[in-house]
Amino acid sequence: MEKNNFEVIHNGTITTVPGVFAASCHCGIRKWKEDFTVIFIPGKTVCSGVFTKNKFAAAPVLVNRQTLEKNRNINAVIINSGTANACTGIEGIENAKKAIGIASKYLKVNPDNILISSTGRIGKHLPLDKIEKGLEICSRNLSSEGGHHAARAILTIDKHPKEFAVKINLKNKDILIGGIAKGSVMVEPDMATTLVFLATNAKISRSVLDILLFECIDKTFNCVSTDGCQSTNDMVIIIANGESNVDIFEDDKTIYEQFKSCLLFVLESLAKMIVEDGEGATKVVEINVIGARDGGEARQVGKRVANSILFKTAMYGEDLNWGRIASAAGSTESNIDSSKVDIFLADIPVMKDGMAVNYDEEQAGRLLKERYINFTINLNTGSGSARILTNDISNEYIKINALYKKQR
């Protein structure tokens, strides 16, 4: 995606946005890593969120949905790693609400203005004593420089923090969008163990922010997969504090589209970082499906290929084996005409009209050794398209997931 007329901020993060503060600490949930974070945005705000569709949605997801149904003025998000608070029943929901109550005391804001997020091992309850310790420490250390620590503290077994910020000048004022994210294992969001927190100083209504977030998530995080496993805790939260006093509304198409392209770029960048960091991945694979009947069919085909274990292991082995792509694409419920399908590695045709074609194997081999690999699947039946990001599966994938408990 092109950057258009906005500027990527070097070393940008969520607290790059004016009026956004954060603090992190080690409260003892994890053995030694920072494991607790507070993001704090005082004053009048507008918040929107999208959440996992997993039937075992975690307690924080359930509580946040309830909160946002009645109130969109969110001043704080408290986040812990090491414990997911998922599959914990009524007690898990009550503990999430108690944690919010404790946060209310230390942050001096109404509980209805606080969201909660958790990530880590499923089935374990929130240790409220440690949560309180974290809140006591973080409430005293909130800073406009705290975003980088926050990006690290929300991680579980991710290797690298994921943070990004951009700036765009609208109506002679600087609008900023900044965010942090985590995700490495159990990543195939369908929103509406991936967490994303965003802030902007734009002034925007609840309804417009909802539309923008849903549309941008659908084109970014809902189009990535590292292992085809949907988390119980997925959420994306965006908070607008309006400090710039620049209104974003649909009637002003120019401003609206510029802001939208900015938000889309931030989300796309964070999503790509998650795929790059996924589970011992050595390759980032882009699958472009074109010529589908519609976008839904294109995404279905792309996701089926992206989640094929045989395809992903072939990418690790730098083995083109394009038959695995064709096999995965043909296994969808969609009524694909196999006699029309073409497959390309970069611009090299490897299958034409559903049949093998001769190609330069040496050239293909060089491309497969690259960190970034691009495939195109043309169904040749319509104008629908989708772009899916995934990665390979390496030996490290087994190690990371087999030893997940020990890496806490």
The pair of structure tokens assigned to 366 is 């060089």
354: closest CA among 325, 375, 393, 316?
325
Are 294 and 381 in contact, with CB atoms under 8 Å apart? no
Are 92 and 58 in contact, with CB atoms under 8 Å apart? yes
Which residue reads 């408290």 in tokens? Answer: 78
Burial of 330 (0-12, 13-18, 19+ CB in 10 A): middle
3-state secondary structure of 188: coil
Which residue reads 């994890």 in tokens? Answer: 30
Length of the chain: 408
What is the CB neighbour count within 10 angstroms for residue 44?
12
DSSP string covering 270-302: HHHHHHHTSTT---EEEEEEEEESSHHHHHHHH
Rounded Cα distance between 331 and 328, Å, is 5
Rounded Cα distance between 335 and 199, Å, is 42
Which residue reads 């090491």 in tokens? Answer: 82
User: Among the options 67, 193, 200, 376, which is catalytic?
Assistant: 193
Q: Report the relative pairing of strands 247-248 and 348-352 from DSSP bridges.
A: unpaired
193 is catalytic: yes
Sign of the alpha-carbon dihedral angle for 209, 212, 213, 214? positive
Helix (H) or strand (E) holding 136: helix 128-139
What is the CB neighbour count within 10 angstroms for residue 9?
16
The pair of structure tokens assigned to 196 is 């994303």
Strand partners, 292: 384
Rounded Cα distance between 267 and 110, Å, is 29
Q: Just list the catalytic residues.
A: 193
